[in-house]
Every structure is written in structure tokens, then in C-alpha cells.
Structure 1
């Protein structure tokens, strides 16, 4: 078993979460031990990736709707100006 080097390596949020969840499991990971729950970890990673895709899609939809709202507001303003000046 090869021991991982920690010196100078920043601590990630997921590593901090593992430590807070279970200090012993975190320590085993630092020592290079493999988890016995690799299947569950893989499923969790896939679920997180799927959720991240849904979030990215929602952000794109939100941005598109924002543009649509601005276009509708511009059309209303232009229509109001047209009505006020007798162009429509």
C-alpha cells in the first residue's frame, strides 16, 4: 500500500466533507486504502453528474427566458411609441 503525500496539497470541499462525515474513512483514504463501496460511489457520481446537467439546462432556459422578456418589453415600448406618435 502506497502512502499518499499530503504536504502542500490543498484540501478540497469533498475531502473536508468526508472528514466531517467519518474521520476514520477519511484517514483510510489519506493512507491510500480503497473504499469497499466503489459501486455506490460510482452511482452517486453519476447522479451528481446528471443533476449538474439538469442545473446547466435550467440556467440556459432561465437566460433564454430573460432575453425573451426583454424582447417583449422592447416590443411593448415600441408599440406604445408607435401608438403615441400615430405610426401604428
Structure 2
């Protein structure tokens, strides 16, 4: 009798966002837009509140600065934490 293959257990997206609170993140949105900012709040629908937000071009450079924005969760493809190297 063979065992079923083990499934990879992924963490809850909400738990991942909790670890990213008050840290700088990049969110890739539908339509190819990327925004960078400090994650200050989120909700169960993955709506994000970013402070010091900026829209990024394809090379990752800021092209437009916004201040505080709300990103609708349905537009988010992925969220990534920015690693700060000493």
C-alpha cells in the first residue's frame, strides 16, 4: 500500500501580512503596475494601506510618489517584503 504524497503546507496569507506590518513592501498589481511603500494596515480581503507609497517602473525605480494609498485587495497579484541589507 503506497502513501499519498505529502502536501506542502503554506502559511496563511494573513499571517504573512502580519509579519510584514510596518515594513517596506512591494505589491505587484493587475495591469503590470508595481507599488512600493510601508505596510501600515490590511484587512481580510487583502486591501492594503501603504504609507510613503510610490509607483515603480520596470527597473524598480520610483516614477510617481503618492504618500498614503489604499490598494484594493482584488487587484493584488503578490506582495513581497523588501530586504534591507546592512
Shorter-chain TM-score: what band?
Answer: under 0.3
If the length of structure 2 is used for normalisation, what is the TM-score? Answer: 0.20
Higher strand share: 2
If the length of structure 1 is used for normalisation, what is the TM-score? Answer: 0.20
Asked which structure has the greater CA Rg, the reply is: 1
Higher helix share: 1
- Taking CA–CA contacts closer than 8 Å with sequence separation of 6 or more, which of the two structures ends up with the larger relative contact order? 2
